Structures are given as C-alpha cells and as structure tokens.
Amino acid sequence: MKVAIVGTSGAVGQEFLKVLAERDFPMDELLLFGSSRSAGTSYTFKGKQIVVKELKHNDDFKGVDVAFVSAGAGISKDYAETITKFGAVMIDNSSAFRMDNDVPLVVPEVNAADAKVRPRGIIANPNCTTIQMVVALKPLNDISKIKRVHVATYQAASGAGAAAMDELLQQYKEALNGDPVTVKKFVHQLAFNMIPQVDVFTDNGYTKEEMKMYNETRKIMHTDAEVSATCVRVPSLRAHSEAVWVETEKPVSVEEARNAWSNADGVILQDNPAEKEYPMPLFIAGKDPVYVGRIRKDLSNEKGLTFWCVSDQIKKGAALNAVQIAEYLIKEGDLK
Ligand code: 2RA
C-alpha cells in the first residue's frame, strides 16, 4: 500500500500524519507533497524522516493507492487528473467536487457504501460542520425520518487553518497589551468577539458555509430534509460546537434518542446536566468522536428535539473522516 498526502504542511495535512500513525494505517510507503514553498521540508512519520516533494504535473502518483488531498479547491481541481490517472483513489478534503453527481460525498458512519461508486476515482470529504452534524443526526433519522433541521454553529479558529489559530492567539496578546490587533485571516477581530460570518455571502443571504450544511447534509443522508444554518466563528482554538433543533416525522422521546446515541458509531453521549456534564470544545480537541449532550424536547414543537454537539474539526471534521473512508475501502477489499 502506497499512500500520499497532498498539502502536508497545512493543519489538516499535519493531522493526516498524526491520524495515520495513531491508527497504524497499513502502508508500505508514504509520500508527502506540497507547494514549492513547502517542498524540501521534512516531517517525521513513525520515526522516519520524509521530505516533502513539490506537487507537479508528472508521474509521481504512479503506484499510489490512496491520496489524501487537502490543499484547497483550486489545487484539487487542477491536480485531480494527475493524482488519479494511474488509479489512485483521491480522497479530497476541499469543496471542489463535493456536489458533483459523479463524486460520492462520504461520512463512514452514515453512508460508507457510497464510497464504492466513484467513476472519477475521487471521493469527497464533506465540510467539517456537516460531518459532525450528520454523525449525530443519523441515529435519530433511523428512528424517525428527519424533516427539518435548524442549526447554529460555534466554529473555532482551527476551521480557518493553522495560521488562523496563531492569529487568534496573537490577537488575544495584542488586545491584552492594548496594542493594535492584527486582522488577516478573519474578517474582523475574533479575540473577545464572535463573527456571524464563516466564508462569503451568497445571493440568498446565507454564507457558503451555511449553504454547505444545507446541500451536503441532503446529499450524504440521501434526504430531502430542510436545513437552515447560522454559522458563527467563535474565539475558541479548536473543535466546533453546534446547537441543533430537529423535527422528525413522528415524535422521538429523549429516552429513545439517548438510547440511539449510546449505541451509535462515532458518537459519545455526554449528557448529565445535574453534574454540569456536557460537551465543551476545550476538552474535546484532539478526540475522535462526535460528543452529544443537552438533549431535550423542543418546547416549541411536539415533533422536535434539541441537542448540542461538539467535535474536533481538524480530526473527525477532516483528516480522521478521510482516513476512515480509506479504512472502509480496505475492509471491503476495494483498495488493494
Ligand atoms: C471553517 N468549516 O470552519 C470551515 C473549514 N472547512 O472555516
């Protein structure tokens, strides 16, 4: 098994190195690719130094079985043919192909089998906010079909990349020192603030991030459920949180929901309000599952249920989900 990472120096690229080592992903060789800027840098993987090669339109992907790609939509579009032309499966973290009909969009806990049909050799990894939400929604949808979802997100700086995390720390220092605050990666100062804009606005008044939650949820869950999202950047460092209101066809009780989540793949129930126990991003950064808590009936809707979920956006929201897709293909004998 020959594995490649494209976009090694980014936050998600670095997480790929960690997740592949942590899960002892079966492989004989790991190739690292990056821009001309990061080419030549070396990273340690399982005690071995690997030098980053510059991504070029050549035959470097000959013999590669799976390529984990996280270098932005432009690079994914530009290099998809180069990466897949010798048969490598490209698992793409960008938004480039997510809504294409001939590219499956996969969260293994929800629609793993979709990964088997990939006419272009590309499998798309969904946006992080969608991934954690659909992992939490799936067990409810199995009890009674979800008709409607309202969600408000609380997205950490990590969603905007490694440099954005550094900028948030810098902003806190500058603000506390009374210095002018550096604003480059966010649209406003994030330290001591919240920004109700993640990505750019579309014509209907929703942001691209919010429309991803609408479109991707429907594609992954094979549903016509309506989804309305408000996505907010908050000044936490890592792990996204979401407040979710769900309307199902038939009422689902809190007990049924708890039971379903207790037995669901990839979910940890953390819901003991009497002991002040519920998921919080500070403590969930670096963890694999989606944590669910604050479960209660929606007072405004007898078919409604409300909950809170938190998950590490770089891990389950990106690198881990992609690696789990590859693990599923291996298990199914569909990848070497
Ligand atoms: C964000 N969801 O948090 C995005 C990253 N894909 O900015």
Distance 129 CA to ligand 1 centre (A): 7
Distance 199 CA to ligand 1 centre (A): 8
Q: What is the mean pLDDT of residues 36-44?
A: 97
- Split at pLDDT 50, 70, 90, the class of 277 is very high
Q: What is the mean pLDDT of residues 243-254?
A: 98
CA distance 253 to 272: 17
Q: Locate tokens 């549903």: which residue?
A: 223
- Measured at the CA of 225, the angle between CA 222 and CA 230, to 5 degrees, comes to 115
Q: Report pLDDT for 158.
A: 95
**What ipTM score was computed for the predicted complex, to two decimals?**
0.96
| CATH architecture of residue range(s) 2-126+318-331 | 3-Layer(aba) Sandwich (3.40)
Helix or strand run (H / E) with residue 308: strand 304-311
Distance set, CA 11 to CA 162, 163, 296 (Å)? 5, 9, 35
For the chain, the residue count is 336
For the Cβ of 129 lying below 6 angstroms from any atom of ligand 1, the answer is yes
For 109-131, what is each residue's pLDDT tens digit?
999 999 999 999 999 999 999 99
Specify the ligand 1 atom closest to the Cα of 158: 3
For residue 197, pLDDT over 90 is answered with: yes
- Other Cβ atoms less than 10 A from the Cβ of 62: the count is 11
Whether the CA torsion 247, 251, 253, 256 is positive or negative: it is negative
- Split at pLDDT 50, 70, 90, the class of 249 is very high
- Other Cβ atoms less than 10 A from the Cβ of 40: the count is 11
Q: Residue 297: which region, alpha, beta or left (left: phi > 0; alpha: psi -120 to 50)?
A: beta
- Ligand-binding annotation for 180, yes or no, is yes
Q: Report pLDDT for 15.
A: 97
CATH number 3.20.20.70 is the correct assignment for the domain at 130-313:
no
- Report yes or no on whether pTM surpasses 0.90: yes
Joined together, the tokens standing for residue 91 give 């698992």
Distance set, CA 254 to CA 118, 133, 138, 244, 258 (Å)? 38, 18, 15, 14, 6
Q: In sequence order, what are the beta bridge partners of 247?
A: 148, 304
Q: Report pLDDT for 102.
A: 98
User: Which regions of the chain carry the CATH code 3.30.360.10?
Assistant: 130-313
Q: Report pLDDT for 98.
A: 98
Specify the ligand 1 atom closest to the Cα of 160: 7
- Other Cβ atoms less than 10 A from the Cβ of 166: the count is 13
Joined together, the tokens standing for residue 73 give 């939509």
Helix or strand run (H / E) with residue 6: strand 2-6
User: Which regions of the chain carry the CATH code 3.40.50.720?
Assistant: 2-126+318-331
- Split at pLDDT 50, 70, 90, the class of 247 is very high
For the Cβ of 10 lying below 6 angstroms from any atom of ligand 1, the answer is no
- Other Cβ atoms less than 10 A from the Cβ of 334: the count is 13
Q: Give the residue numbers marked as catalytic.
A: 128, 240
Q: In sequence order, what are the beta bridge partners of 287?
A: none
